[in-house]
Homo-oligomer: A and B are copies of this chain.
Amino acid sequence: MTLGPAGTREPLSRVRVVAAGVALADTLGVDAVSMRQVGRQLGVEAMSLYRYVSSKDVLLDAMVDAIVAEFPVADASLGWQDRLRTLVLGAYLVLLDHPWAAAAATSRPAVGPHRLRFSDDILGTLLDGGCSPQLAHDVSHAIDNHVFGFTLHELRLEAGSSGSAYAPASVPDGGGAVPTPHLSFVLQHAHHDRDAEYAFVLDVLIAGVENALATSAAG
């Protein structure tokens, strides 16, 4: 690698490595993120990265957490419902900007510090709303799953944007197509509005919490 006219170059660092990985994933997809590619992006050999990330796995974990770091922070001036909505919809918007991130996050067990912070905000909001610790715990899992899982779902649908979302890829042994009467009926009579669906399910969860709070107060 030739140096610039000044003869020096920006030194490597963990943040620069992670940022290069994110940039690569954003433009070419996660599959393009290999140690050698990331190195090339930085004008450096693959092995040099190992001084800053101990393995490719921790690089990916750090990349995911770098995205989660952009998630919004709880706004204490709102009621708990709107606070939740802000958090969850904000996370959704961030994930839409980095289509690989939802997939990477769900397919990887590690939970980074920023994700812990986000979970803590969700839990704090639920506790503020009057949830028992148990209820808050359960609902926060459901919300986590909604944020990452549902967003992944939506991204996939719009990725395979060539007409129908349901495109069977593998043919069964016998060969013939599977009859799916209800599926085709629904696809004819319903349209797919990404954002509305996401908000709808979130509202169902919120309504579920309100209901649980009401019945526990009454009992």
> Which residues in A have some Cβ–Cβ distance to B below 8 Å?
14-15, 58, 61-62, 65, 103, 106-107, 109-114, 116-117, 119-121, 123-124, 127, 132-134, 136-138, 140-142, 144-146, 148-150, 152-153, 156, 159-160, 166-173, 177-183, 185-192, 197, 200-201, 204-205, 207-208, 211
Contact = CB atoms under 8 A, between A and B. Distances in A.
* A contacts with B: majority SS: helix
Nearest to A150: B145
- Copy total for this chain: 2
A214 to B, nearest CB: 12
Given A110-B170, A134-B189, A141 B153 contact: yes
A144 to B, nearest CB: 7
Contact of A142 (B136, B141, B189, B204): B204
